[in-house]
Structure 1
Amino acid sequence: MSRRFLGVTLAAATLLTSAAAPAGAVASPSFRGDAGQVVTVVADSANATTATLTAWQHEGRGWTRAYGPVPAYVGKNGIGRASESTSRTPAGVWPLTEAFGIKPATTRLPYRQVTTSDWWVSDVKSPYYNTHFSCAPGACPFDEAAGENLGQAGPVYDQAVVIDYNRAPVVPGAGSAFFLHVGNGKPTAGCVSVPARDLDAVLRWLDPAKHPVINISVSG
């Protein structure tokens, strides 16, 4: 999975999520890539723990709003440079290539229905760092205390989209397990979260053939 930066400018991201723009308004982000769908997540400041999420699709010569805007939560430490030692949401443009959840799939993205044998590895010493791994609890080849059991997380992982930050190449300690998932009304450990109904709508809209990405930024 690519960690390529697709070149959306901050000014364009601000334009896309302008509350003053009418539904269906056309904007002109500057992409260097083939993304036909973009999910923008824009916070008012780098330290903000809330943001606005909007889904956009490319039609003809411009972009139209497909869903939103809706309120979202981001990391407890805001948006910026992510790491394993902070609860910060990574700023940048990242592909959305796969999804998972405790519930059955409602998306066209490749989807994994998870159980208590599904983990996301956050052990910086493990060769499996920042990847999915399947193993029975107590029998995993990494420090399970430094991992997340996806099937035990509860409703927040009823559905989730993997944010492809720090995945190719994987840099130990640069941060792991960043998802767009169901919100619980609180800031996250670095993920982006929205209400379940909104996430379900976005998941149904996402189309891998259109190479969707998420653009996480600060407006100020």
Structure 2
Amino acid sequence: MNRRTPQLALLAASVLLTGCGGAAVAGTEQSISTPVSSPPPSAAQSPSPSPSGMFSAESAPQQIPGLGPKTWAKVPADARQAVVVTGKGANSADSTVVLYQRTENGWEAGESWPAHNAFKGWTDHHNVGDLRSPIGVYSLTDAGGRLADPGSKLPYDRDDNFVVSGTGFEGEPLAGSFDYVIAINYNRKTGTSPLDWTRPMGAGRGGGIWLHVDHGGPTHGCVSIAKEHMKELLQTLDPALHPVVVMGDATSLGR
């Protein structure tokens, strides 16, 4: 742990003004709590995916597998896209991401992508500097990045200020991490650039929680996936389908 102490300080300094859990300026937690229109089926009623990772039209579940009644109740009835981030453990920085899309036949799963979350894992009460990702269900409305718009359906802010330098917790370079980002609507003003530092709950509750390009190690509070997968998300998530992210460790999501 001593080996990582200087890197922890360097990473915290480098992201403080750029995102991924930083708190540059002050400003409600937009965790969604709209109940679904019908009670969720039990886990035993949820069919298994095919070997390809996709549910067939005949077997697609009406509820996203792995989500317990408490979590499922927070998924809005009008949501037709859900990015499900499942952490390996409460204190683990490793997770997986699956994009689910709701059709007339039920929820259909995309591929499972490896991902990273915060260095110390997950929390249901995120505070600035705790190095944990916030558990919850949050809307996805705004995107941006240092690179040109790859065809995002979400409003996209191309800005040179989407930049971070230095090294991460494992000594990996952070450059390019913000080439593509999608703002997770935790403690932020929706309908604005991810670079907007308004914090409705105050600076102490953190913010700047994004989906962004993976740099090969734990994050400060964000969720990171490979660049090609970020690009795919940007091209797929559609405001008309009310996309959300459902994120947390597997145990928490199963409650």
Give TM-score, length-normalised by structure 2.
0.64
Equivalent residue, structure 1, for 2:86? 42
Matches within 5 A, 1:156-171: 156-167=177-188, 169-171=200-202
CA offsets 1:134-169 (integer angstroms, 9 cap, x no match) = xxxxxxxxxxxxxxxx23553101101000001263
Taking the aligned partners of 1:171 and 1:45, their CA distance within structure 2 comes to 28
Equivalent residue, structure 2, for 1:205? 236
In structure 2, runs of 5+ residues without a counterpart are 1-27, 64-71, 166-174, 190-199
Shift of residue 105 of structure 1?
A: 0.9
Equivalent residue, structure 2, for 1:151? 163
Identity %: 29
Work out which of the residue numbers 187, 190, 194 in structure 1 matches 2:221: 190
Taking the aligned partners of 1:8 and 1:114, their CA distance within structure 2 comes to 37
Instruction: Please tell me whether residue 92 in structure 1 is matched to residue 123 in structure 2.
Output: no
CA separation of 1:4 and 1:85: change in aligned 2, threshold 3 A: closer
Shift of residue 176 of structure 1?
A: 1.1
AA aligned opposite 2:215: N
CA separation of 1:186 and 1:4: change in aligned 2, threshold 3 A: closer
CA separation of 1:79 and 1:4: change in aligned 2, threshold 3 A: closer
Shift of residue 61 of structure 1?
A: 4.2
Equivalent residue, structure 2, for 1:216? 247
Taking the aligned partners of 1:209 and 1:60, their CA distance within structure 2 comes to 16
Taking the aligned partners of 2:163 and 2:95, their CA distance within structure 1 comes to 27
Shift of residue 219 of structure 1?
A: 1.5
Equivalent residue, structure 2, for 1:138? none
Three-state SS of the structure 1 residue aligned to 2:118 is coil
Equivalent residue, structure 1, for 2:153? 108
Taking the aligned partners of 2:164 and 2:188, their CA distance within structure 1 comes to 23
Taking the aligned partners of 1:86 and 1:4, their CA distance within structure 2 comes to 19
Equivalent residue, structure 1, for 2:68? none
CA separation of 1:115 and 1:40: change in aligned 2, threshold 3 A: same
Name whichever structure is richer in strand by fraction. Answer: 1
Instruction: Please tell me whether residue 82 in structure 1 is matched to residue 112 in structure 2.
Output: no
Instruction: Please tell me whether residue 73 in structure 1 is matched to residue 85 in structure 2.
Output: no
Equivalent residue, structure 1, for 2:30? 3
CA offsets 1:171-190 (integer angstroms, 9 cap, x no match) = 33111110000001100001
- The answer as to whether partners of 1:100 and 1:161 remain within 8 angstroms in 2 is yes
Work out which of the residue numbers 186, 195, 206 in structure 2 matches 1:175: 206
AA aligned opposite 2:154: L
Taking the aligned partners of 1:44 and 1:205, their CA distance within structure 2 comes to 25
State the number of aligned residues. 179
Equivalent residue, structure 2, for 1:21? 49
- The answer as to whether partners of 1:2 and 1:95 remain within 8 angstroms in 2 is no
Shift of residue 95 of structure 1?
A: 0.6
- The answer as to whether partners of 2:31 and 2:185 remain within 8 angstroms in 1 is no
Taking the aligned partners of 1:8 and 1:70, their CA distance within structure 2 comes to 28
Shift of residue 74 of structure 1?
A: 0.2
Three-state SS of the structure 2 residue aligned to 1:53 is strand
Taking the aligned partners of 1:88 and 1:109, their CA distance within structure 2 comes to 26
